[in-house]
Amino acid sequence: MSSLISRRLIGGVFRFGHLRSLHSSSVWSGKVVQFKLSDIGEGIAEVQLKEWHVKTGDRVSQFDNLCDVQSDKASVTITSRYDGVIKRLYYKVDDVAPVGKALVDIELEGEGEDSAESVDDDKSAQSAAADKSKKADGGKSSDEHETSSSFALHSGKVLATPAVRRIAMENKIKLGEVSGSGKNGRVMKEDVLRFLGHIGPAETTSKASDQSRPAFAPLSGQDKTIPIRGYTRIMMKTMTQANTIPHFGYNDEVVVNRLIDLRAQLKKLASEKGTKMSYMPLFIKAASLALTQYPVLNASLDSSLENITYKSAHNICVAMDTPGGLVVPNIKHCEQRNLWEIALELNRLQEAGKRQQLDRNDLADGTFTLSNIGAIGGTYASPVIFPPQVAIGALGKIEVHPRYDHHMQIYPAHLVKVSWAADHRVIDGATMARFSNVWKEYLENPALMIAEMR
């Protein structure tokens, strides 16, 4: 049942509390109904209220617009299922409305559904909705606001405009029994009139394509909807924000033969230092040294887009794959730390990440990000900037490829590919390329990096 409900809701239609049978006759006049934001599927746990179309005291009819809401998937207009008077709006514009919580109270006018259902019983609301949607489709009117009609086609939901639904309702017919001739089986006005015998039969239109469409049953199990929580919830919010940033991409390859030799030496000493030495501390230190020359990449942009703040600290974030999902803690003051100190801190963060015990401070105030996706695999990536930062780099896996040396001799080059992304509102391509060249120089000739260390 739950999968049925979520699939019916997944197309972007929000349903509230209880569906109402339009054929019932018990009187609800004066009763206050609390509409709740029902489960809308796809793991969406909350929506942001964008605009109210009504205010307290307004009289509304079924199908009248109540408000517009925004989820991370779609913008949707919520319509009333009842005739009545708005008694209470639970949210202000820009508030976040959680699924399952009340959105609006309406004092009913006229006739309502059989009062066997409690209007305030959240738990029974969804099963009631599903039951009723099986029995009859009358009165469900949000189709005009659907964002995914193709999904609705597969979910068995009857597609029709509110006007068509109203005709069906007035004539007490169930839309589910009317054969729809519109796109994706949408029930048109003519279909209803034909069903009522008011107009003649339609020209024969082949439904072969519909009939030939195979019915797919799930191979195993049921769809599962879970709320987005933890690190993934943070990722959802920051990446939604990041989507507003115009990204500039720049890729290069770095020959890391010498770096590999250096790392091998350091790795032998690492246990004495009580840490491990991967390539990351070297990538991070090289980035910090390059940021000293190009501080605009270690900056943040304010929300009004009026100011850019050059950060004095190089708090370099490291994208981390953890059992709880992606998380991006940062190593504070890399500009003041040597390689061992960076390695120690990276190890600490990695261990805390594994246990999902990163401190709030570990996650705050990052100024620049590196993502070593190569630790998992792959060559290139398209990293997404971590706002309010302005640049990020993604590193691929170190691989051996043939390359020419200065004497045009082929040699086995250990290469790491880097993919940079910068906020093109404040970083131009030339700056990104120059920064990358400096970073690359430190990694290809790590003696230069060592020389710069304090």
Nearer to ligand COA, 126 or 389 (CB): 389
Residue 280 engages ligand COA in binding (rule: CB under 6 A): yes
Residue 373 engages ligand COA in binding (rule: CB under 6 A): yes
Q: How far is the CB of 333 from ligand COA (least distance, A)?
A: 19
Residue 319 engages ligand COA in binding (rule: CB under 6 A): yes
Residue 308 engages ligand COA in binding (rule: CB under 6 A): no
Q: Which residues are catalytic?
A: 424, 428
Residue 42 engages ligand COA in binding (rule: CB under 6 A): no
- Which one of 375, 413, 426, 448 is in contact with ligand COA (CB under 6 A)? 375
Pick the piece of the chain touching ligand COA (CB under 6 A) from 30-38, 152-160, 365-373, 385-393. Answer: 365-373
Nearer to ligand COA, 167 or 256 (CB): 256
Tell me the C-alpha distance between 376 and 366, whole Å. 23
Residue 321 engages ligand COA in binding (rule: CB under 6 A): yes
Residue 398 engages ligand COA in binding (rule: CB under 6 A): yes
The torsion angles phi and psi of 108, rounded to 5 degrees, stand at -75, 150
Residue 391 engages ligand COA in binding (rule: CB under 6 A): no
Residue 420 engages ligand COA in binding (rule: CB under 6 A): no
The torsion angles phi and psi of 81, rounded to 5 degrees, stand at -100, 0
DSSP for 106-123 reads EEE-SB---TTS-TT-HH
Nearer to ligand COA, 320 or 427 (CB): 320
CA atoms 265, 268, 271, 272: torsion sign: negative
DSSP for 48-67 reads EEEEES--TT-EE-TT-EEE
Residue 234 engages ligand COA in binding (rule: CB under 6 A): no
Nearer to ligand COA, 94 or 351 (CB): 351
Tokens of 321: 């794959």
Residue 142 engages ligand COA in binding (rule: CB under 6 A): no
Nearer to ligand COA, 41 or 366 (CB): 366
Residue 376 engages ligand COA in binding (rule: CB under 6 A): yes
Tell me the C-alpha distance between 40 and 304, whole Å. 33
Nearer to ligand COA, 236 or 375 (CB): 375
Q: Kindly give, in sequence order, each residue whose CB lies less than 8 Å from that of residue 360, ignoring residues fewer than 6 positions away.
A: none
Q: How far is the CB of 348 from ligand COA (least distance, A)?
A: 12
User: CA–CA distance from 247 to each of 26, 111, 391, 392 (Å)?
Assistant: 59, 55, 9, 10
Q: How far is the CB of 210 from ligand COA (least distance, A)?
A: 41
Asked if 380 and 418 touch (Cβ cutoff 8 Å), the reply is no
Tokens of 393: 């780099």
Strand blocks (E) in 330-445: 330-331, 368-371, 391-395, 399-404, 410-423
Asked if 275 and 340 touch (Cβ cutoff 8 Å), the reply is yes
Pick the piece of the chain touching ligand COA (CB under 6 A) from 149-157, 301-309, 395-403, 438-446. Answer: 395-403
- Listed in sequence order, the DSSP H helices in 271-403 are 280-293, 339-354, 360-363
Residue 326 engages ligand COA in binding (rule: CB under 6 A): yes
What does the binding site for ligand COA look like in residue numbers (CB under 6 A)? Answer: 276, 278-280, 318-321, 326, 346, 350, 371-376, 395, 397-398
